[in-house]
A and B are shown apart, each in its own frame.
Chain A
Amino acid sequence: MPKRTDIRSIMIIGSGPIVIGQACEFDYSGVQACKALKSQGYRVVLVNSNPATIMTDPQLADATYIEPLTAQLCEMIIAQERPDALLPTVGGQTALNLAVQLQQSGVLDRHGVELIGANLTSIQLAEDRQLFNDTMREIGLRVPESRVVNSVDGALAFADEIGYPILIRPSYTMGGAGGGVAYDAEELRSVAANGIHQSPVGEVLVDRSLLGWKEYELELMRDAKGNFVVVCSIENLDPMGVHTGDSITIAPAQTLTDKEIQRLRNMSRQIFDRLGINTGGANVQFAIDPVEGDAVVIEMNPRVSRSSALASKATGFPIAKIAALLAVGFTLDEIPNDITQQTPASFEPSLDYIVVKIPRWDFRKFAGADPVLGPQMKAVGEVMAIGRTFPEALQKAVRALDIGMDGFVSEPGEQTTPEALSVPTAQRLFQVAAALADGIGFDDIVAETQFDPWFVQQMRELMRVYGTIAGEGRRLSDICADEMHHLKQVGFSDATLARLMRTDEAAVRQRRKTLGVSANFYRVDTCAAEFQAHTPYLYSTYEMEDEAAPTDARKVMILGGGPNRIGQGIEFDYCCVHACFALKELGYETIMVNCNPETVSTDYDTADRLYFEPLTAEDVMNIVDREQPAGLLVQFGGQTPLNIAGELERLGAPIWGTSVDTIDLAEDRQRCHALMRQLNIAQPAGSSITTRAEATAAAAKIGYPVLVRPSYVLGGQGMAIVFDEAQLLAWLDEHVQWHGHHVLIDQFLDDAYEVDVDALCDGEQVTIGGIMQHIEQAGVHSGDSACVLPPYKISYFHLDIIREHTRRIGLALGVRGLFNIQFAVKDDQVYVLEVNPRASRTVPFVSKATGHPLARYAAQIACGQTLSALGFTEEPPVSGFFVKEAVFPFQKFPGVDTRLGPEMRSTGEVMGHAATFSHAFVKSQSAAGLPLPTAGTVFISVNDFDKAAVARLARDLARLGFALVATDGTASWLGRIGLQVSRINKLSQGSPHVLDAMRAGEIELIINTPLGGTAHEDGATIRSQAYALGIPIVTTMSAAAATAQGIKQLREKPLSVRSLQAHYAAVN
């Protein structure tokens, strides 16, 4: 069937901010869909609230709306743009839910918009747990015994019938949000209550738990003619009970016979038939009894997903792109396979390599969070590695994680017991390594982990080989070519070998090369080499022949950011992709190196050549050796590539742009301080210390409160503000293992305004890209603070000082590209807090707000262009206001204090833009998922320092008609100035207390500023519960002021929407 000509304009909904369960895989799928539909001549209207995405770049769609993903604003966009169709399947659960809402509320019918790529019936059949289970039974497929309930009592009653453990899965949520396992009635009460709350329709599915069954997933596509293909089979290492997003997974499935895999394929096809999925992709998850082989259907997602992004990267079959083409009427046999060029997309990829995905967790950021993995996803990112065998792929995946592990080995000093192995955690893989090393029995390991013995045997074999090097006091010179080749074939890194043989990595590398053992590259070709691959999508291995076929073109290599984690996310992928596009335009051949399967950078369509490899010096140098690039760009992928830049340079790699020495100058505190002194630029007083005694002395000299952190950290890891010596000592004991590690102690600038500047320098000149003012006061990590462009409360006087400082610092450092400076303004003094000689987290935000692609400029500068030549010599004016708000994963970590501090904990961001600051702020809050109320009751509880400021705020809110509720201290303070306040009990005062009121839905807004540095227990509970209950909560006074202002304006004037394209046109 040819493409549809009755539709001309198509709206695509993105997935909003990066959250746990929905990360940049939907930027990848959205970008693919936009590109595919545009190339077919459709007008694309895009809406997404996330400015850090590539999909929201104005050139990818015809009209790009960075607006909150709410039905109300979407309807305004639809009314304005009049699209003919809506494609809801490439923006994750968020887009699917929003599309259902738009359909059910009549918006789509009202404006004559057709849903394409999925229909309402199939979405409902797939998403409604009860309907889905009933439908499966109706077509003769097995599902776990289950019942949908909408009350805790209902859940308890069903559990009595079928017995524990019981699995709870809420309807219409993503990443298993709100899911859990209950082993008894007490646990069930709390898990069920939470699940019911988190489900937008207030219902959960209570399942007989299939804990310990094997879990599989098939990624599938079907077109309007019924042509049906399995793109990929995926096997989970972790058995049922661990969310698939938290599972280590392997593709293709390794432990099924053909009959078993075809049975799953047939079942999937039956499900597609019954649900009417006929123009796109979907996945189906199965559980298989390891003893009897029974296959049970767990769920299906009628859309592009995280695992379909993984499957696309694992196979070279671009699911999202093809899904978009199927949605507009193409059939699979009409779409060519990009890689072979001569065969059609109507086939099933055959893999002659193994793909391993390992999730990346960040539990250290969430003290008090339950580290046990379960049905609710907790990972913030993932890596994928490709190897010819499972051991090779596993070891590559481990070192790609960038967690300090150089392969599948036990962590130093790690001891484990069989019992510990039964608990799924982020460390379990390494505990298995430790168990194997400690000689815990194979059968015990299998029984406790419930990993398939096949995988455990492969791991045992790895540890055996490890032992042959570790145990015998082997020396590098003892290793012959054959043994070295074997060690490399099973994935041991030079770093591991160096460690075991007490030498350094460079020596291993040298020895390896002397022995003639070097990596070769194979292509990911969808067809196991049956046809020639025309797309250079490569992975390394140690085998025969090489398929890299490097060209003689002048080429530049871009190092990506690795796995998403808190502090390093999609923003850096955005920068890498832009750098790549810029270099292509300049005529360079571009080479991308990255190991994150969720990203646009690892789309084989992005760079001219893609190496899907870990970002370690060894792996990158293997590619450098083969490709001989003219230059490497390390400043776009965040901290990960910067960390290996020095090593790469030592090994002879040509680093372009900002030099390694400049990076060190900015990151080395001593050197940076000296430079600031030389430039006569103020910095907070600070010290670098290595003992407890030095710490207390330094803190006393600087004066409390002080900011403390370990040196060289990402995203403010471990950073804290301490208010007295006791707190300081407690922090040191908890966070610091001395042995010469430095701890930084800085003066904390209380009540200061923070300002972020992104700027470019070409060595001769500095141009500022944007100046952002944080809405929260200093002390909140810049990645967690809302910020506004342009600044709304900083004087021109100070802004000019900031501009001048920026210019001088850029030139003094000799930056060649982007840099970012954090300033603080306190008592008329401008301080420099931090200088980052690389693309920062805010680059995409500034680029969207100003219309200037800063990352692109930076890449051009790295290639020798000047700012003058680029015509970017003036700080761009900003029309209206752009507010960036951070989005937090606290709902996934119940019990964790949500108070913001110097340690970054947000996973993503949204942008609100409008002509006024207040409307922009309102939009940002709405986009972040906590829309501000326009009426109701506000609960106020502030610390003593904020009492003065709260008076005016409370008065404003009262004038807006809000009822005020406060606990004793705040209430009497507000009462004294004549405000009507209802008193409410603190938790310690007993029920009915504030938490009861929150749970009863009697509170619409919370203003709670924590006291000093101590975790005030009431406050912590209130803040954590506010997230769980979805009540907007403001934890700083400046944000509270913005909130009040926003609510006021929202009541006075309705919001409006404007595309970026229209905005830029109006500005210029």
Chain B
Amino acid sequence: MQAALVLEDGRVFPGEGFGAQGCATGEIVFNTSMTGYQEILTDPSYYGQIVAMTVPHVGNTGINLEDPESRKVWVSGFVVRSLSPLVSNWRNRGDLATYLCERGIIGITGVATRALVRHIRERGVMRAVVAHGSLADDNIALADIARNSQDMSGANLVDAVTAEAAYNWTQGSDAQWYGLHEDNSCGPLIVAYDFGIKRNILRMLADRGLRIAVVPARTSPADILKMQPAGVFLSNGPGDPAAVDYAIANVRALLGELPIFGICLGHQILALALGGKTEKMRFGHRGGNQPVKNLDSGAVEIAAHNHGFAVSAGSELGGGEITHLNLNDNTVAGLRHRGLRAFSVQYHPEASPGPHDSFYLFDEFVDEVAANV
């Protein structure tokens, strides 16, 4: 059935709809990962965004039970060049179109995704709308809807994705994918702030012998300290970090009390808590092929990225230092405050999807935690 992606600047990308019918708004972004659409769909960091995949064929491996990164699909819309007409993979349990349909998510295929990416590259990310069904031919109305939707800058989206109540996490990785499987039944306890946490982060921590308590984003520092954890983890998540003012304040209160490790939004919040600044990028980094240089070792990691905001280069970090740089554009990819035992990275060491070059960061956190026990 007819479908269209309409951008706030009036540009229209027609296509064929799949998944749910209707209309949804969000910030249009593109992801250059060639695999891992199921992980991307279920990554809470994409909340409020319409994701376009650059890889042409999507849906080839279907949907399986192991790969979701959270309890639901978070993207507002999903844009592909060619939806697979057939699913083929030994782990497959269902097809993408049905999966999205059941979850009320609009998909659109047959889109000139390369032209779309070039448009975003030149003009920057912007608000957009996907429409599938009767609405899809009224491009003027759709552009209006896009223009009236929420802007990502200044948006606190964390409240929408964080867990409603605290819970414990114990499950590690499946043995067929990774090698590490320490018993975590009586390891040190850490608290993970859920700003939109991905399951693979939790698995990575569990694999390394940590007990994990996941807490809602608004949990106070006092409540955390009451749990007597050996470390705090700040998760990834959606939206503008500067808008999550309570989290910045909470982290500031915890600095120095416990070792802290942050990923993505957690990294940005740590930087803000240290007194740094963040800024919106033109079109962000989303993909599994980005080179990150570890300034300590000089080594380059190929890393999974998913962010539209970044810590401003040269911003004051209250004694913290830059530890990692993205070599494509020299954006800040990691920082550390030695005195306060806090460090963070902008990218996704847990991968999923993406290369596994940066697992060592979890080991570093475990070392910090162990030193604190």
Instruction: Indicate if A801 sits at the interface (CB-CB under 8 A).
Output: no
Are B38 and A257 in contact, CB atoms less than 8 angstroms apart?
A: yes
Contact stretch, chosen from B2-10, B156-164, B295-303: B295-303
Residues of A538-556 at the interface with B, using a CB-CB cut-off of 8 Å, are 543-545, 547
Residues of A118-148 at the interface with B, using a CB-CB cut-off of 8 Å, are none
Closest to B287 in A: A350
Are A343 and B328 in contact, CB atoms less than 8 angstroms apart?
A: yes
Q: List A contacts of B302 (CB < 8 A).
A: 228-230, 346-348
Residues of A314-358 at the interface with B, using a CB-CB cut-off of 8 Å, are 331-333, 342-344, 346-354
Contact with A along B77-117 (1 / 0, CB 8 A): 00001101111111100000000000000000000111101
Number of interface residues of A (CB under 8 A): 60
Q: List B contacts of A342 (CB < 8 A).
A: 328-329
Are B289 and A343 in contact, CB atoms less than 8 angstroms apart?
A: no
Are A349 and B289 in contact, CB atoms less than 8 angstroms apart?
A: yes
Query: B169 to chain A: closest CB distance in Å?
Result: 19
Are A530 and B121 in contact, CB atoms less than 8 angstroms apart?
A: yes
Closest to A295 in B: B176
Instruction: Indicate if A6 sits at the interface (CB-CB under 8 A).
Output: no
Instruction: Indicate if A423 sits at the interface (CB-CB under 8 A).
Output: no
Query: A633 to chain B: closest CB distance in Å?
Result: 31
A74 to B289, CA, bound (A): 42
Q: List A contacts of B121 (CB < 8 A).
A: 529-532
Closest to B177 in A: A259
Closest to B174 in A: A259
Instruction: Indicate if B241 sits at the interface (CB-CB under 8 A).
Output: no
Q: List B contacts of A349 (CB < 8 A).
A: 289
Are B177 and A263 in contact, CB atoms less than 8 angstroms apart?
A: yes
Whether A348 contacts B288 in the complex (CB less than 8 A), given A229-B302, A457-B86, comes out as: yes
Are B36 and A545 in contact, CB atoms less than 8 angstroms apart?
A: no
Query: A803 to chain B: closest CB distance in Å?
Result: 57
What is the predominant secondary structure among interface residues of chain A facing chain B? loop
Query: B81 to chain A: closest CB distance in Å?
Result: 7
A191 to B169, CA, bound (A): 56
Contact of B112 among A256, A530, A543 (CB under 8 A): A543
Q: List B contacts of A535 (CB < 8 A).
A: none
Are B85 and A293 in contact, CB atoms less than 8 angstroms apart?
A: no
Instruction: Indicate if B245 sits at the interface (CB-CB under 8 A).
Output: no
A946 to B91, CA, bound (A): 69
A776 to B288, CA, bound (A): 59
Instruction: Indicate if A931 sits at the interface (CB-CB under 8 A).
Output: no
Residues of A259-311 at the interface with B, using a CB-CB cut-off of 8 Å, are 259-263, 265-266, 289-293
Q: List A contacts of B33 (CB < 8 A).
A: 258, 350
Q: List A contacts of B86 (CB < 8 A).
A: 453-454, 457
Instruction: Indicate if A104 sits at the interface (CB-CB under 8 A).
Output: no
Contact stretch, chosen from B267-275, B316-324, B348-356: B348-356
Are B56 and A353 in contact, CB atoms less than 8 angstroms apart?
A: yes
Q: List A contacts of B137 (CB < 8 A).
A: none
Query: A521 to chain B: closest CB distance in Å?
Result: 11
A662 to B96, CA, bound (A): 59
Whether A457 contacts B57 in the complex (CB less than 8 A), given A262-B354, A348-B288, A530-B287, comes out as: no
Contact of B82 among A226, A256, A389 (CB under 8 A): A389
A350 to B329, CA, bound (A): 17
Residues of B23-48 at the interface with A, using a CB-CB cut-off of 8 Å, are 30, 32-36, 38-39
Q: List B contacts of A26 (CB < 8 A).
A: none
Are A257 and B113 in contact, CB atoms less than 8 angstroms apart?
A: no
Contact stretch, chosen from B60-68, B212-220, B232-240, B332-340: B60-68
Instruction: Indicate if B291 sits at the interface (CB-CB under 8 A).
Output: yes
Q: List B contacts of A528 (CB < 8 A).
A: 30, 32, 54-55, 114, 117, 287
Query: A944 to chain B: closest CB distance in Å?
Result: 64
- Which of A262, A457, A461 is packed against the most chain B CB atoms within 10 Å? A262
Instruction: Indicate if A373 sits at the interface (CB-CB under 8 A).
Output: no
Query: A286 to chain B: closest CB distance in Å?
Result: 14
Instruction: Indicate if B118 sits at the interface (CB-CB under 8 A).
Output: yes
A225 to B351, CA, bound (A): 22
Residues of B153-182 at the interface with A, using a CB-CB cut-off of 8 Å, are 176-177
Q: List A contacts of B356 (CB < 8 A).
A: 262, 265-266
Are A333 and B115 in contact, CB atoms less than 8 angstroms apart?
A: no
Are A226 and B85 in contact, CB atoms less than 8 angstroms apart?
A: no
Residues of A168-191 at the interface with B, using a CB-CB cut-off of 8 Å, are none
Are A543 and B115 in contact, CB atoms less than 8 angstroms apart?
A: yes
A233 to B288, CA, bound (A): 14
Instruction: Indicate if B199 sits at the interface (CB-CB under 8 A).
Output: no
Q: List B contacts of A292 (CB < 8 A).
A: 90
Instruction: Indicate if A255 sits at the interface (CB-CB under 8 A).
Output: yes
Instruction: Indicate if B341 sits at the interface (CB-CB under 8 A).
Output: no
Are A258 and B354 in contact, CB atoms less than 8 angstroms apart?
A: yes
Are A352 and B117 in contact, CB atoms less than 8 angstroms apart?
A: yes
Contact of B300 among A227, A388, A530 (CB under 8 A): A227
Whether A254 contacts B90 in the complex (CB less than 8 A), given A347-B290, A347-B328, A388-B81, comes out as: no
Are A354 and B112 in contact, CB atoms less than 8 angstroms apart?
A: no
Contact with B along A511-531 (1 / 0, CB 8 A): 000000000001000011111
Instruction: Indicate if B198 sits at the interface (CB-CB under 8 A).
Output: no
Q: List A contacts of B291 (CB < 8 A).
A: 333, 343-344, 346-347
Closest to A530 in B: B32
Q: List A contacts of B140 (CB < 8 A).
A: none
Q: List B contacts of A458 (CB < 8 A).
A: 85
Instruction: Indicate if A912 sits at the interface (CB-CB under 8 A).
Output: no
- 10 further interface pairs, Cβ-Cβ under 8 Å (given A352-B56, A529-B118, A530-B117): A229-B302, A258-B33, A262-B356, A347-B291, A350-B34, A353-B56, A454-B60, A457-B85, A457-B88, A530-B121
9 tightest Cβ-Cβ pairs between the two chains A and B: A258-B36, A258-B353, A544-B112, A457-B86, A528-B54, A258-B35, A454-B88, A348-B289, A350-B32
B residues engaging A (CB < 8 A)?
A: 13, 30, 32-36, 38-39, 54-57, 60-61, 64, 66-67, 81-82, 84-91, 112-115, 117-118, 121, 176-177, 287-291, 293, 298-300, 302, 327-329, 351-357
List 13 contacting pairs A-B, 8 Å CB cutoff, sorted by A.
A225-B299, A258-B36, A262-B356, A265-B356, A346-B327, A347-B289, A454-B86, A458-B85, A528-B30, A528-B117, A529-B118, A530-B54, A545-B118
